[in-house]
A and B are shown apart, each in its own frame.
Chain A
């Protein structure tokens, strides 16, 4: 609401007494610049040393064997991965923000309605029963997350409010978890190791064809979610209040849940389980900017992209020439950071 509260155009007092960059638009701009810088940094560093001065030229042409290698690593390995990290982080954070609004609870995340558990079940089923090639695994994980979410929604909608959905989600999560356990028990040694790696999450599957499919999808579904920012704000007031402000609650709820599953499902399928971003990023943004979704959603998108780009960069450079699973990095770096931030707020 910066235009509404801007001191120049109205006699209303400014919402924020702090300097200009602390306004939502300022923060969003600053974070966007940070994201671009971080993506450049990430694209320019990795196990293979490419001289910084060569980078711009490499985007267009390469001469000589060294440059040919640099160019193909830069274009075919790093760039899709950096873009994929940003895309996945943005989508995870956006879906987290939407779920937190829908459940009116800052601890909500997409996993609450079975998206992650269903995806894991689909993936594990594919690994144990279907041989586990990526072509089987990804669609199976996506279908798993969608089925789990739709089941949670349908089972839970008979109860008033969000409690039914929450309870159904808990039950679906438990069932999926048990089935994953069962599959794990049935798995042989090789399958077990594949499962472990799927559970730790990975962006190593990034490629241009994958991005070509996922990026437009994610942008469209993300935009559809963001369009409901007014409804999310109204939901913060309360479910009755949202109804009084003209939002058809059941339709909004059904739409947001389905869109979230459509947004996160394919990502979970492509990357495995990457935790923490969806839960914490919207929370951090809310601490900094407040809960107005007009700013919370776009800022979470950018901050989520930053978080995962940063995590991926760390994962790639921490133990060169090997790399760490990204799910470990997000939790290992994000967890303490979050705790530190909470401790700061106390004072």
Chain B
């Protein structure tokens, strides 16, 4: 379990995260929602071990992150940051294969198998022969997704939980690929017992694919739980500052549908 307890961080006098606690267990998909600047990416950076909280702690299976070195951590969790900025001339396969770097013990054959699977899961098998800089924004995003899939799939090697942290992975994708990516993430969570945390802006997309949602507003957690109980007009007003109406989804009454006015 990836566990964040009472995280607190302040930057230039501004509270970025204030007493935020969140857990991510094997097999579940947790969505993080919040307005711009609510602290979503900071939370993700702390869960990734990239940024240390000023107060509070983050632990993996009971071990605090600051006691794990980078190489070790990379064998348990993969991170897809927002808007990757690769401009060098690498092939798609070369980028995807980097996901296996934390696992030098894997044979070339093993890496190949992982890559084939990841490329298919991210729906980019047809791009395997292309150069990365020539891809469109959405294609590049999916290739990067394939890379973190390789990493998290290879992590089966290591003992303990596996975690996949995705920062707005659907930002430059068309609706079909948004659905496909989140479906893939959920399938992996179920099949491979991976804990997936995903930052999203589309509330309904989050409601459709996430088991639990965490709502952040001005650095505070204003709600955390299953979509139906968390997505209420009150919490949505607190998070986004706009009026919203929540109705049951016409196709699946267990699922809420949010309509912003």
The short answer to whether A and B are in direct contact, CB under 8 Å, is: yes
Known contacts A1-B97, A238-B81, A292-B94: A12-B128 contact under CB 8 Å: yes
Q: Which chain A residues (1-27) contact chain B, with CB distance < 8 Å? A: 1, 3-5, 9-17
Which residues on the A side are within 8 Å of B98 (C-beta)?
A: 230, 233-234, 237, 245
Q: Which residues of B are found within 8 Å of A240, using beta-carbon distances?
A: 50, 79, 81
The residue that B75 contacts in the complex, of A5, A14, A104, A246, with Cβ under 8 A, is A246
CA distance A324 to B250 in the complex (A): 83
B residues 90-135 touching A (CB-CB < 8 Å): 90-91, 93-95, 97-99, 101-102, 108-109, 111-112, 115-116, 119, 128-129, 131
Q: Does A224 contact B (CB under 8 A)?
A: no
Specify which of B71, B93, B131, B147 is in contact with A248 (CB 8 Å cutoff): B71
CA distance A302 to B15 in the complex (A): 53
Which of A106, A230, A234, A292 sits near B91, CB closer than 8 Å?
A292
Are A238 and B85 also in contact (CB < 8 A) when A1-B94, A17-B129, A244-B78 are?
yes
Q: Verify B116–A245 contact, CB threshold 8 A.
A: no
Q: How far is the CB of A81 from chain B (nearest CB, A)?
A: 35
B36 within 8 A of A: no
Collect the chain B residues with CB atoms within 8 Å of residue A237's CB.
Answer: 84, 86, 95, 98, 147
CB-nearest residue of chain A relative to B127?
A: A13
> Within residues 125 to 151 of chain B, which ones have a CB less than 8 A from any CB in chain A?
128-129, 131, 147, 151
A5 to B116, CA, bound (A): 11
Contact present for B70 and A15 (CB under 8 Å): no
Contacts of A241 in B (CB 8 A): 79, 81, 84
Residues of chain A contacted by B85 (CB below 8 angstroms): 238
Task: State A29–B161 Cα separation when bound (angstroms).
Answer: 44
B-facing residues in A252-307 (Cβ within 8 Å): 286-287, 290-292
The CA-CA distance from A237 to B84 in the complex, in Å, is: 7
Given contacts A233-B98, A237-B86, A286-B88, contact A244 B74 (CB under 8 A): yes
Bound CA span A230–B95, Å: 11
- A290–B74 contact, CB under 8 A? no
Chain A residues positioned under 8 Å from B75 (CB to CB): 246
- A248 engages B70 (CB within 8 Å): yes
Q: Chain B, interface size: which category?
A: 35 or more
Kindly state whether residue B48 has any CB partner on chain A within 8 Å: yes
Q: A150: which B residues are within 8 A, CB to CB?
A: none
Say whether B116 contacts A14, CB under 8 Å: no
Interface residue B89 (Cβ < 8 Å from any Cβ of A): yes
| B174 interface hit (Cβ, 8 Å) | no
Contact assessment for A236 and B112 in the assembled complex, using a CB-CB cutoff below 8 Å: no
Cα separation A287 to B90 with both chains bound (whole Å):
10
Q: Which of B84, B112, B147 has the most CB of A within 10 A?
A: B112
In contact, B128 and A13 (Cβ under 8 angstroms): yes
* A243 contacts partner chain B, Cβ-Cβ < 8 Å: yes
Complex: how many Å from CA A230 to CA B98?
A: 8
- Chain B residues within an 8 Å CB radius of A5: 91, 93, 128-129
Whether B84 pairs with A13 at a CB distance below 8 angstroms is no
**A235 CB → nearest B CB, Å:** 9
Q: Are B101 and A245 in contact (CB under 8 A)?
A: yes
Chain B residues in 8 Å Cβ range of A244: 48, 50, 74, 78-79, 81
CB distance A246 to B73 under 8 Å? yes
CB distance from A341 to the nearest CB of B (A): 14
- The answer to whether the Cβ of B252 comes within 8 Å of any Cβ in the partner chain is no
Chain A residue at minimal CB-CB distance from B83: A238
B residues whose Cβ falls under 8 Å from a Cβ of A: 48, 50, 69-75, 78-79, 81, 84-86, 88-91, 93-95, 97-99, 101-102, 108-109, 111-112, 115-116, 119, 128-129, 131, 147, 151
What 6 additional pairs, Cβ within 8 angstroms, besides A240-B79, A243-B50? A1-B97, A3-B108, A234-B98, A236-B90, A244-B50, A287-B89
A-B contact pairs, 10 of them (CB 8 A): A12-B112, A14-B129, A230-B101, A238-B81, A238-B86, A243-B50, A246-B72, A247-B71, A290-B91, A291-B90
